[in-house]
Amino acid sequence: MSLVLLAIAFKLLWGKQAADVETLIFSGNTMSTSWQVKIVGHDFQEDHNRRLADILKDRLDFVNREMSPYFEGGDIYRLNAAEADTPLQVHEEVMQVLKRAVEISELTGGAFDVTVGPLIRLWGFHGKKARTSIPSDDEIADAKSLVGYQHLNLDVQNNTVTKAIDGLDVDLSAIAKGRAVDMVAEALDAAGESRYMVEVGGEIRCKGKNDKDMDWRIGIERPAESNDLQRRVKRVLPISGLSLATSGDYRSFYMLNHKRYSHTIDPRTGRPVEHGLASVSVLTGDCTTADALATGFTVLGVKESIAIADKEKVAAYFMERDHSGEFSTFSSRAFDTMFGNIEDME
């Protein structure tokens, strides 16, 4: 886990369009992944650029510090170390992420759960060696006893969290990158920027127009196996005023006794998902929600996810793998309304 922001670099790309549009680019590393921000505007000044760099660093450092389970002294690290029935004060931003995580857990019937870590570790993911045998029913039951968002008691008014059971630990990796994107976007809004693209670890939020005075063009990757290093774009979406998050099972899995075990664990069963959903992309106004829903939908599969997406008017796009390895695509009604029947790139 990268615990510090490794670098910030920025440069100006002088556009050839009318009115001398400029694109300011910031990039670096945080939360064991990369990030990039593109801001379109006119006549950027050096002092303004440096203020923006400081703002971006501050927001990303905050998420990396307070929402990581590995950063000693951060809120989530302290929460995981706390004993049951002991209220712990957390930052308001951390509370809001935990609150949203619980709301998404309830919306997805527990398919999204930030306490799923014991099960993920049991199945040999999160840095451990792949297992040579599947866990026993007793091992799964023991791990499941330490899982459950309902064991997190949130006092939003006082910003305190109380764990109902010892051993409960929280991992915000399926929602924190989305919140980082939102915090950066909110900071850019406050700084008066109105045309930008923010990306952290593949989660994206766009506002306004790009340097060609068009909606930002964002590609959805075609699922590939882990040994296929070539990235292929399945669809390109014009996005403005929206966030996009994608989750999939196609780059983290292992084979055991000729059976494929995905890193996507269903918290309700304690076992890897077995349906064919390989990738889901979710578009919402805020990236926090899109990030969490993409994970929850990956657990649920196409049918249940589309039912929720249609009820909640969420735009979602799915790629499902059949037994022959071919993919079929599905989308929610909101997605079709936004993007119509755009042809795939392939």
pLDDT for the residue 9: 43
pLDDT for the residue 179: 98
Nearest to 300 by CA among 228, 247, 259: 247
Mean pLDDT of the chain: 88
Count of beta carbons in the 10 Å neighbourhood of residue 127 = 7
What's the average model confidence in pLDDT over 28-53?
Answer: 94
pLDDT for the residue 8: 42
* Angular region, 77: left φ>0, alpha ψ -120 to 50, beta rest: alpha
What's the average model confidence in pLDDT over 74-95?
Answer: 98
Query: What sign does the dihedral 239-29-172-297 (CA atoms) show?
Result: positive
Grade residue 15 by pLDDT with cuts at 50, 70 and 90: very low
Whether residue 140 is predicted with pLDDT greater than 60 in this model: the reply is yes
Q: Angle CA(9)–CA(11)–CA(15) in degrees, nearest 5?
A: 150
Token pair 């008066």: residue: 192
- Which of residues 27 and 260 earns the better pLDDT score? 27
**Cα 35 from Cα 53, distance rounded (Å):** 13
Nearest to 191 by CA among 43, 285, 51: 51
Residues 197/280, Cβ–Cβ less than 8 Å: no
**Cα 99 from Cα 242, distance rounded (Å):** 21
What is the share, in percent, of the chain residues with pLDDT greater than 90? 73
What's the average model confidence in pLDDT over 108-136?
Answer: 85
pLDDT for the residue 233: 85
CB neighbour class for 87 (10 Å; exposed up to 12, middle 13-18, buried from 19): middle
pLDDT for the residue 250: 56
What is the share, in percent, of the chain residues with pLDDT greater than 70? 85
Q: Going by DSSP bridges, is the β-strand pair 203-207/196-200 parallel, antiparallel, or unpaired? A: antiparallel
Query: What sign does the dihedral 286-290-293-297 (CA atoms) show?
Result: positive
What's the average model confidence in pLDDT over 8-15?
Answer: 42
Whether residue 73 is predicted with pLDDT greater than 50 in this model: the reply is yes
pLDDT for the residue 58: 97
Q: Locate 2 and state its tokens.
A: 């990268």
Summarize pLDDT for 204-251 with one digit per residue, the tens: 999 999 999 999 999 998 876 545 556 678 899 999 999 999 998 655
**Cα 95 from Cα 72, distance rounded (Å):** 18
What's the average model confidence in pLDDT over 308-334?
Answer: 92
Whether residue 180 is predicted with pLDDT greater than 70 in this model: the reply is yes
pLDDT for the residue 223: 78
